[in-house]
């Protein structure tokens, strides 16, 4: 990041998730770690809520006279659902 520039970070917490994950045993050995599939944002409602949250944050940053925003370094190319999902949601799921 260049000196003299500001960094804004938005954090979203999804409440009342509809997506369901799974935890299963890898084997009967107690030393083996379980298999955990969090299945993050697999329910359409969860994906839509997160997409709308990101859209609102981008609109706030771009439209604010209080928060100086020249450009979004990371984030969606447009406010279309597909751009938001591809640039913001999918990278977060694959962490």
Question: For residues 9, 15, 18 and 24, what is the CA-based torsion angle, rounded to 10 degrees?
Answer: 80
Would you state the pLDDT for residue 67?
Answer: 66
Would you state the pLDDT for residue 75?
Answer: 73
Would you state the pLDDT for residue 92?
Answer: 64
**Residue 26 and residue 32 in contact, taking contact as beta carbons nearer than 8 Å:** yes
Would you state the pLDDT for residue 28?
Answer: 94
Quick check: helix, strand or coil at residue 50? helix
Would you state the pLDDT for residue 45?
Answer: 95
Residue ranges per domain, the chain?
22-93
Chain-centre distance of CA 14, in angstroms?
A: 9
Would you state the pLDDT for residue 19?
Answer: 93
Would you state the pLDDT for residue 3?
Answer: 72
Would you state the pLDDT for residue 44?
Answer: 94
Residues of the chain with pLDDT under 70: 1-2, 4-6, 64-74, 90, 92-95
Distance CA 56, CA 25 (A): 40
């Amino acid at each position: 990041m260049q000196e003299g520039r500001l960094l804004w970070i938005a954090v979203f917490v999804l409440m009342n998730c509809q997506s369901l994950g799974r935890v299963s045993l890898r084997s009967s050995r107690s030393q083996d770690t379980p298999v955990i599939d969090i299945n993050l944002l697999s329910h359409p409602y969860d994906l839509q809520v997160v997409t709308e949250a990101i859209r609102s944050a981008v609109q706030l940053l771009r439209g604010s006279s209080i928060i100086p925003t020249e450009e979004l370094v990371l984030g969606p190319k447009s406010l279309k659902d597909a751009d938001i999902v591809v640039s913001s949601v999918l990278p977060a799921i694959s962490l």
